[in-house]
Amino acid sequence: MTADMKFWDNIAPKYAKSSIRDEESYRYALGRTRSYLKPNDRVLELGCGTASTAIELAKGVESFVATDISDGMLAVGRQRAQEAGADNLTLLHRPAEDLADGEFDAVLAHNLLHLIPNLEEVLRNVAAKLPTGGLFISKTPCLGEQVGTWKYYMFKVAIPLMKLVGKAPSFVDFTRMQDLEAAVQAAGFEIIETGNYPPSTPSRYLVARKR
C-alpha cells in the first residue's frame, strides 16, 4: 500500500460524512458536465472518491466506470451505488495513470489533477482512450493563482507540515490555470469551455475535445 492509498483510506469515513463546501458551485459544474453527456455514452471518471458525482451522472449515460486509489473510498462508493440502484456504474481500484480497460466517449477528473505528479502522462493516457471528438472534463483547484495572498502562504506552510504527520497527500501541485490548460492542450485537446466554480482559489472547470 502506498502512502497516498493509506492517507485516503484513513480519511474515507470522515470524508464520506463531510458536506460539500460550496453546494451551489458543485451543482452548477455538475449540470454543465451533464449537458455534455449523451444517453449512449460510455464514461470514465478518475479519482472518483466516494462516487457521489459518479452516481449522479451515471443516471444519464449508458455505462459509467469510476476509479480511485483508495479501497476505503470505494467501499463507501459501492454502498452508495447499491442504495441508489446505479446498476450501470462500475467502481475499480486503480491509480489515475492506470486507466480502465475499454473504450470511452468521455473521461472525467474532478478535484484530482493537482494531486497527480505525472500529469502529462495521465493526460496522454486519457487522450489515447478517447476517439476524435471525445471529451475530457475536469475541475481543478489552482492553488498557484493565490500567489501574493495570505491564503497562498498559508497553503505553502501548512501543506508540507500536514504531509509530515500524514494529514495531506504526498503531492499537491500549486498549479496555475494557464499551465493546466497548456498541459491539456499539449496532450491533444481543444478547450471548448472554462469557468471557475467556485471562483475562490479558483477551482477551474474545463471541458476539452480531443483533436
Instruction: CATH number of the domain at 110, please.
Output: 3.40.50.150
Please compute the mean of the pLDDT values over residues 168-191 and round it to a whole number: 97
Burial (CB < 10 A; 0-12, 13-18, 19+), residue 141, is buried
Classify residue 101: in a domain, yes or no: yes
Residue 89 near residue 55, CB atoms below 8 Å: yes
Average pLDDT over residues 17-36: 96
Q: CB–CB of 45/100 below 8 Å? A: no
* Chain segment 101-131, per-residue pLDDT in tens: 999 999 999 999 999 999 999 999 999 999 9
Within a domain: 55: yes
**Percent of the chain's residues with pLDDT above 90:** 88
Residue 147 confidence class, pLDDT cut points 50, 70, 90 = confident
Number of domains in the chain: 1
Q: Has residue 136 got a pLDDT over 90?
A: yes
**110 falls within a domain:** yes
Question: Is 155 among the domain residues?
Answer: no
**98 is a domain residue:** yes
**Apex CA 127: angle with CA 194 and CA 134, to 5°?**
65
- Domain boundaries, position 94: 3-143+175-210
Question: Does any domain span residue 33?
Answer: yes
Lowest-pLDDT choice from 104-108, 134-138, 162-166: 162-166
User: How many Å apart are CA 186 and CA 55, to the nearest integer?
Assistant: 31
Mean pLDDT over each residue of the chain, to the nearest integer:
95
> At residue 155, does pLDDT exceed 90?
no
Instruction: Determine how β-strand 89-93 pairs with β-strand 63-68.
Output: parallel
160 within domain boundaries: no
Lowest-confidence range among 25-39, 85-99, 137-151, 193-207?
137-151
Question: What residues does 195 pair with on adjacent strands?
Answer: 205
Name the band, by pLDDT with cuts 50, 70 and 90, for residue 55: very high
Residue 202 within any structural domain of the chain: yes
